[in-house]
Chains A and B, each alone.
Chain A
């Protein structure tokens, strides 16, 4: 019975492999398998080795996250997620609707907390699970498009990626978005690559539909991936199965209908966007930093400057890709898949950049996290198909080395720009702030992480003063009201401890006012953009 099942499985694999014109290794392997006796065992040994390697990558990322990232200070966004998901589901939906996000992640996190508790480590582990699942998903994606070698190396890059590891243990929706996007891309590739005899089976369509439906409720930017797929479809519609157009349209219409109650709810509440940090309009530097982060992660300015300024060397990669391709004419063509991965890597980034310029700044590299796996797939495919073997091994090794170093440096370096050391600030306040003091934080929304860590007796207020429990957005900063607000919070207190971070354009004004009206006793930076000051307001 078991051997019958194995034979059926192998014959299915054979059919699949033989139609995958780009996975040469698999074809070669398949020839070996057919010709040599007793290779079923070898097949299992080989598959077992691949699975073991993927499992090793997952274990590595799990361990790295546990030892390197779980203990790091809560960041603003994470604190916001934790604060939002502690409310009742109804109140939580209300808050998220006023935010810029869709609710699936918060709902899952809410119930996750109900079952497992709500410590930082527990909440981060939810993101970690999705990130770990992304590793085999990336393997499947790479393999489905270009063969096993590309799949394995793509999974390795995903596991080593400083950028993905960072968001893989952040209490935000990005690793969940990443996971659904990668699966969705996998099913999209399967739809495209299916030969007529397999096209009646709806597995790929069902997978595509479900992952897409989940994706649009994780992040609005999922639509950018759908857009990239739509562009690819219209450029290559002749190569898709029949009736694909009507299916894609049907699925998209369903998505819109499914999302419309939520959009109506958001619209009804009036887009209270002031609860979010102001995003600056991106520049070309941001554009390149995005791709730099996708590969090297978050490095301090000095290291990042080196990486980004050496961009002319990228011309060498184009230069060395030109070579006499000795493969058959069919094989040396730029595969259609290549176009998809190029689109999926760059189009969302470019569109977000353009929208940020033309309409409203929405450009944040983490929103575009789903562009990372297709970028890795594309780069790996380029490396293994367009470069001489020795050069491709050298570049791949260099890439692994740089990404590994970037991962370690990003984790241990105090200068990593995305680190927000509210934990240490709060510990300092715990140790030094007296009950007669008051803590003021600016920008107001940074109260969440400070509040999470601070265990002392001081009152915590915001500047400008904000009542979080009152309906409506955060009050805008008004310089004319600053003296009265500071007098109000200083009244009855000995010292003001000022925590400045996430400058919304007025932090320096607050500091200037306090510097010129009170004696400053303490001034210390804790991480990039996060500083703590103490002012004597009463003797």
Chain B
């Protein structure tokens, strides 16, 4: 049977596999962009744009995972300075917070102080007083903000202002640390240049329903090979929870960035700019909860997309002084991932445009395209499997692709400066029918069906028609896997979350 941390156990990926990926992708791109005869110039331009994006993402991914072994680092197990443990709370059910707090109390570490950073009051959550009562009952600290602002970053900054230890561990309310969390992380701060230590997130409820499993499958790729690869280049970034911070490093950049809803990502850029180091510890040291319903999942993804794109637009890592070339590359790759919404939409509408107009981006034999595309995509898929120790699933890909509309909204919001409130991911399933949230995908299906009839009536069953039909069918199937998450059954929790007595 699998073990829960299998995704962290990938050994080095064979260099020949990475090299073959580079070669096949390069051949594919070169032939598409420069060799085959272009069709409609606008569609050709769009296709090349999407291929540039794919190549950029693929190359940076392969570069990131090309070596997974962590660099030699100073780790002193006897380095045990006092630590403040922050548990950020914003309306989560008390029993969930309690489980985390109790786990924090059980941390195997000589000196630490726990604070519930209670944002319930400023966010008008009904249970903010219950959180205070919980803190009192458990005899731990509780800092309830009275002045709003800065969302989660503001909450942490408020905590930093009212506490004093040089090192601060941060957990979301639903992320339960293991007793050895501090033992396995604080020792890295014996190196004076280390600003933060990040550990993986693990969704202990990943088997509970369709959404939690999809969300977790996505996370495994990121917290597995990607974070390990970034760590090699001193480019691991904070992920909001399961991390330990050096107060002086954070304060040097003005605290957690309050201007960005992905405060952790933005703050990491600033910290790295100042020459600080980061560490990623590929061990499961805390267990959390994945969003259990479609709305929460979509909001979470939108927030991450919006925050990352804001970093790209407002604090573009490419032009930030102090970052190394590899750090610029890594930040750029991570932030630009969220442009995929636009790219997916373009790729999806190319066959639809053919159905309605007969226009194609390339005038080539469909077999020629197959000859270069299939080896490239098969090898990419296999590499994804190898990189994640065969944890990454088609559901994860479908979720990433199907969520294109959320990513598009994030792009539009950032471009037009639309303000969004920070929303905390619900920790309990808000089960329901969310079909209305997948209307763009449903519309796509409808257009495809109409387009198929129109194209067949116009030109008959030609090879071009058939291959465009197959592309559209491919999109419809992938969207369907995603759309299934919007049905009530998908959010049905198979097993209730267990709460410590």
Contact = CB atoms under 8 A, between A and B. Distances in A.
A306 B463 CA distance: 7
B109 interface: no
Nearest to A326: B2
A322 B374 contact: no
Given A284-B370, A315-B377, A316-B474, A325 B467 contact: no
B381 A284 contact: no
A321 interface: yes
Nearest to B381: A318
Given A305-B463, A311-B374, A322-B393, A329 B381 contact: no
A304 B417 CA distance: 53
B397 interface: yes
Interface string A328-343: 1100101000000000
Given A308-B463, A323-B393, 11 more contacts: A311-B366, A311-B374, A312-B471, A312-B474, A320-B394, A321-B394, A324-B2, A324-B393, A326-B2, A332-B389, A332-B390
22 contacts: A283-B367, A285-B365, A287-B371, A305-B466, A308-B463, A309-B463, A309-B464, A311-B370, A311-B374, A311-B467, A311-B470, A312-B370, A312-B467, A312-B470, A312-B471, A313-B470, A315-B374, A316-B477, A324-B391, A325-B391, A327-B2, A334-B386
Given A285-B365, A288-B367, A314 B393 contact: no
B6 interface: yes
Contacts of B464: 309
Given A309-B366, A311-B370, A312-B474, A334 B466 contact: no
A329 B366 CA distance: 39
B463 A313 contact: no
Contact of B474 (A283, A288, A315, A323): A315
A329 B382 contact: no
A306 B469 CA distance: 11
Contact of A285 (B367, B395, B461): B367
B27 to A, nearest CB: 13
Contacts of A328: 1-2
B217 interface: yes
Contacts of B378: 318
The main secondary structure of chain B at its interface with chain A is: helix
A2 interface: no
Nearest to A305: B463
B371 to A, nearest CB: 4
Interface string B379-402: 001101110011111111100000
By Cβ-Cβ distance, the 8 closest A-B pairs, closest first, are A309-B466, A312-B470, A325-B390, A309-B463, A318-B381, A284-B371, A311-B370, A284-B367
B368 interface: yes
B478 interface: yes
Contact of A322 (B367, B389, B397, B474): B397
Nearest to A319: B394
Nearest to A353: B371
A310 interface: yes
A319 B368 contact: no
Interface in A442-487: none
Contact of A306 (B392, B466, B471, B474): B466
A101 to B, nearest CB: 29
Interface in A133-168: none
B475 to A, nearest CB: 10
Contacts of A312: 370, 467, 470-471, 473-474
Nearest to A322: B394
Contact of A324 (B217, B370, B382, B384): B217
B371 A288 contact: yes
Contacts of A324: 2, 213, 217, 390-391, 393
B190 to A, nearest CB: 33
Interface string A236-258: 00000000000000000000000
Nearest to B7: A324
Contacts of B384: 322
B172 to A, nearest CB: 24
B9 interface: yes
B2 A308 contact: no
Contacts of A316: 474, 477
Interface residues of B, number: 41
Contacts of B392: 322
B467 A319 contact: no
B25 to A, nearest CB: 15
B374 A314 contact: yes
A334 B378 CA distance: 14
Interface in B192-218: 213, 217
A327 B390 CA distance: 10
A98 to B, nearest CB: 35
A323 to B, nearest CB: 5
A329 B9 contact: yes
B2 A334 contact: no
Given A321-B381, A324-B217, A310 B374 contact: no
A308 B389 contact: no
B365 A284 contact: yes
Contacts of A305: 463, 466
Nearest to A313: B470
Contacts of A311: 366-367, 370, 374, 467, 470
A313 B473 contact: yes
A477 to B, nearest CB: 30
Interface in B1-29: 1-2, 6, 9
Interface string A267-288: 0000000000000000111011
Given A305-B463, A322-B392, A329 B470 contact: no
B381 A313 contact: no
B470 A309 contact: yes
Q: Which residue of B370, B386, B391, B474 has the most chain A CB atoms within 10 A of its CB atom?
A: B370
A200 to B, nearest CB: 32
Contacts of A327: 1-2
A328 B213 CA distance: 19
A356 to B, nearest CB: 14
Contacts of A310: 466-467, 469-470
Contacts of A285: 365, 367
Contacts of B473: 312-313
B367 A334 contact: no
Interface in B297-336: none
Interface in B414-471: 461, 463-464, 466-467, 469-471
Contacts of A284: 365, 367-368, 370-371
Nearest to A287: B371
A354 to B, nearest CB: 12
B467 A318 contact: no
Nearest to B366: A309
Contacts of B374: 311, 314-315
Contacts of A322: 381, 384-385, 392-394, 396-397
Contacts of B474: 312-313, 315-316
B36 to A, nearest CB: 11
B394 to A, nearest CB: 5
B24 to A, nearest CB: 13
Nearest to A302: B461
Contacts of B2: 324-328
Contacts of B390: 324-325, 332
A433 to B, nearest CB: 41
Interface in B477-492: 477-478
Interface in B341-371: 365-368, 370-371
A320 B478 CA distance: 10
A326 B6 CA distance: 10
A104 B2 CA distance: 53
Contact of B382 (A283, A309, A334): A334
A332 B388 CA distance: 12
A266 B28 CA distance: 42
A296 to B, nearest CB: 15
A387 to B, nearest CB: 10
Nearest to A308: B367
